[in-house]
Structure 1
Amino acid sequence: MAVDTMAGGGERVSSWRRLGSMREAGLIAIILALCVIMTFASPHFLTLGNFRAMLMSFSVEGIVVVGMTVLLIVGGIDLAVGSVVCFAMVFAGSLFLLGLDPWSASLLGILASAAIGAIMGFFVTVVGLNHFITSLAAMVIVRGLCLIITKGTPLSLFTMPPEFKAVGQGTFYGVPYVILIFIAVVVVFDFLLRRATAFRKVFYTGSNEKAAQYSGIKTKQVKFWVTVMCSTLSGVAGVIYMSRFGAATPTFGVGMELNIIAAAVIGGASLNGGSGTILGAILGIALLSVVASSLILLDVSVYWQDMIKGCILLAAVSIDHFLHKRKA
C-alpha cells in the first residue's frame, strides 16, 4: 500500500514537473503577472472595454499566427503575411466597388491570397529558393500590387450591407463573431496538428527532411501546401479586417509579420523547424497584445513601442536558439 502511495505521489510530482516545464505554463504565468502589475499601474486596464479591445485585436492576428506556426514547424517562414492580409482587403474591396457582392468578392480575395501562397510554394519546392528570400520578394511585390490597385488611396467600403459588416462588427449573444471565428480556427488546427496523420508529416518534415523523404513522405508537397495554407489564412484575416473597418488601406499590415513571427517563436515554434504548438503561439500573441495595451495605457511613445517589440522578438529568438542548441 505504501509503495502504491509513493508511486502515485511520484506520478503526481512528475506530472506537475512536466506541467511546470511546459513553455505554455511559463507564458501563462508571465501574462497573469503582467495583468496584475497593470491592474495597479493603470485604472483603465482591468475594464471590460480594454479586454474586449485586446481580444478583438489578437483574435484576427491569431488566425494568421496559426498559419505561421504550422509553416515554422515545417521549417519555413513567411515575411509576406502582412502584405497578403492587405492584398485580400484591397482585392476584395476593389471587386465590391466594381459591383460584385461582398461575399463573392471576399471569396475571390481569399482565393487570390491562396494563389500567392501557391506561387511562393512553387519557387520554394520547384525552383529551390528558401522561404526567407521567396517571402521577402513576395512581401515587396504584393505590397506594390496593393498600391497599384488602389493608386495609393484608401478604399471606402461603408456601403457594404449590414449582414456582411456583422462578420467583423456583430456579436452572437454578446460574443463578437471575430472571436468565435478565431476560436474555431484554433480548435480545428490544434486538433489536426495533434491527431491528423497528414499534419504529423509537417513535424517529420521540419525535424529531419531527409529522414522524412527516406520514410516515403513527399516533403516538397508538404511544404507547398503548408505555404498555401498560411497565405490562405492571411487572406481570411484580411477579409475580416475589411468587414470590421469598412475600408481597405494599401499600407495596412506594414510590420505585422514582426508580431506574427514573434508570437509564434515566443510560443515555442522553432525557427529550425520540427516543434511548435497552436496553444503556445496563441499565448504568444496574447502576451504581445497585453504588452501593447500596457504601453498605450502607460502613454509610452509609439517609437519606444516598436523598439520594445523588437527586443521581445530578439529575446524569443535567442531563447529558441539556446534551447535548440541544448537539445542538439
Structure 2
Amino acid sequence: MTFLKKLVEVREFMIVMIILVLGVILSISSPVFLTTQNLLSVLLGLSVEAIIAAGMTVLMVAGGFDLSIGSVVAFVGAVTAMALRAGASVPLAILLGIVVGAAVGLLNGFIIAKLKINPFITTLGTMQAVRGLVLIVTGGRNISGLPESFTILGQGKLFGVQSLIIVMLLVIIIGDIFLRKSRALRQTYYIGSSEKAAILSGINVNKVKIWIYVLSGVLAALAGILMTARLGSASVTAGTGMEFRVITAVIIGGASLQGGEGSVFGAFLGCLLMALITNGMNLVGIDVYWQNFVVGATLLVAVIIDQYTMKRKERASLKTKPGPATSTSGTTTSSTPS
C-alpha cells in the first residue's frame, strides 16, 4: 500500500493513467482513433512542441521560462529558407538557423542573468522584437520553393515512421537522461529550489542561466528548421501561440512555476495529453474554434493544481519540522545565550 501511495503521488504516473483513460474513451467514441495512421498523426502533430518543451522544462526547473520560442521558430525558419533560396547548402543553412536561435537565447540569458531583468519582461520583449524581424526580413510573405534535399528532413520516413517523430523521441530521451543524471543540468534543480543556496554551494548561477537559455534557443531553432522542412515553406505566422501551449504542457507534466521540479519525460506526456485532447475533439466533430478555449482552460487548471500542490507540500514540510526542545519539566528550552 505504501508503494502504491508513493506511485500515485508521482505526477508522470498520474498523467499516464489519464492518457490511458482518455485513450479508452476516444477509442470507444471513434473507431479511427486506434488506427496506426491516426496515432502517428498525433505524434507528428506534437513533435515540434515536444522538442521545444524539452528546453522549456530545463528553464522552468531553474525557475525561468521563455516566451520568445514561437517567434524564434518563425524567424529561424525564415532565415534558413532565405539562405537556401540564396544558394546556400543545406548544412550551411541549418547551421545558420541554429546560430540565430542560439543568439536569441544568449541575448535572453544575458539580460536575465547579468542585468537581473525579470524573465517575463525579457522574453516578452524578445518575442515581439523577433516576430517583428520575421516580418521585416520576409516582407510579410511566406517563403516556398525549398529544395527536396532540405524538405526530406521533415517529410522523409525511416521504417515507416516520419523522421520528425524520430528526432523528437531522441531529443526527449537524451534530454530526460541529461536532466536527471548530468551534473550540468542537475544544477538547475538547486537554482530553482533556492538561488541563494545554489550560490553558496558554489554553483555559477549566472553561467548556468545563460547556457540554459541558449539551449532553449537552439531547440526552438531545431524545431523551426524541422517545421519548415515538413511544410516545405517558411510561414511568417509559424509558432504563433506555441509558447503558451508548451508552457501548459510542461506544467501539466509536473514542472512548477516556482522552479525546482519537473522532468523532460513529464513534459512529453503533457504534450501528448494535449495532443490527444485536440485529436479527440477533431474526431468527434467539435468545432476547431473551441481548441484555443480548451488550451487556455487547461493552462488555468494546471496552474491551480501546481499552486495547490506547492501549498500542500509546504504544509507537510512544516508539520515534519521539529518543534522547540523542551526540558524534562515541560518548559521550553531557549537556545538564546544568557
Q: Same fold (TM over 0.5)?
A: yes
| Contact 1:157 1:248 (C-alpha < 8 Å) held by counterparts | no
Alignment-derived partner of residue 336 in structure 2: none
| Alignment counterpart, residue 120 of structure 2, candidates 120, 127, 132 | 132
> Match for 2:71 among 50, 64, 83?
83
In the alignment, is residue 45 of structure 1 matched against residue 33 of structure 2?
yes
Deviates more, 1:240-249 or 1:38-47: 38-47
Note if contact 1:54-1:290 (Cα within 8 Å) is conserved in structure 2: yes
User: Who is 2:333 aligned against?
Assistant: none
Specify the code of the residue in structure 2 equivalent to 1:117. G
Tell me what 1:322 maps to.
Answer: 308
Which of these residues, 237, 242, 249, is aligned with residue 251 of structure 1?
Answer: 237
Q: Kindly report which structure 2 residues correspond to 1:195-210, keeping only aligned pairs within 5 A, or say none.
A: 195-210=181-196
User: TM-score, normalising length from structure 2?
Assistant: 0.90
The one-letter amino acid paired with 1:223 is: K
Aligned to 1:149: 137
Shift of residue 167, structure 1, vs aligned partner? 1.5
Aligned ranges 1:97-246 → 2 under 5 Å: 97-158=85-146, 160-162=147-149, 164-246=150-232
Structural mapping, 1:26-45, within 5 Å: 26-45=14-33
**Match among 286, 290, 294 for residue 308 of structure 1:** 294
- The ranges of structure 1 where at least 4 consecutive aligned residues each deviate by more than 3 angstroms after the TM superposition are none
Q: What fraction of aligned residue pairs are identical, expressed as a percent? A: 41
SS at match of 1:273: coil
Alignment TM-score, normalising by the size of structure 1: 0.93
User: Residue 114 of structure 2: SS of its match in structure 1?
Assistant: helix
Unaligned 5+ runs, structure 1: 1-12
Does the aligned pair in 1 maintain the 2:173–2:265 contact within 8 Å?
Answer: no
Distance in 2 (CA, whole Å) between partners of 1:286 and 1:45 is: 14
Within the candidate set 61, 67, 71, 2:59 is matched to: 71
Structure 1 residue 292 corresponds to structure 2 residue 274: no
Q: Secondary structure at the match of 2:124?
A: helix
Following TM superposition, by how much is the alpha carbon of 1:20 offset from its aligned partner in structure 2, in angstroms? Answer: 2.1
C-alpha separation in 1, matches of 2:95 and 2:83? 11
Partner Cα distance (1:147, 1:315) in 2: 34
Distance in 2 between residues matched to 1:188 and 1:52, nearest whole Å: 21
Whether the 8 Å contact between 1:121 and 1:228 is mirrored in structure 2 is yes
Of Structure 1 and Structure 2, the greater helix share is in 1
Find the aligned partners of 1:198 and 1:49 in 2 and give their Cα distance: 39
Contact 1:73 1:270 in 2 (8 A): yes
Amino acid at match of 1:211: A
**Deviations 1:63-107 (CA, angstroms, capped at 9, x unpaired):** 100000000000101111111111110111111111111221111
Q: Residues 240-298 of structure 1: CA distance to partner in whole angstroms, max 9, x if unpaired?
A: 01111110011111011111000000000001110001111110000000011111122
What's the CA shift string for 1:109-138, capped at 9, x where partnerless? 111010000011111111110111100011
Report the 3-state secondary structure (helix = DSSP H, G, I; strand = E; otherwise coil) of the residue aligned with 2:256. coil
Distance 1:266 1:82 in 2: 19
- Range with greater deviation from structure 2 (203-212 or 186-195): 186-195
Residue 161 of structure 1: how far off its partner (Å): 2.8
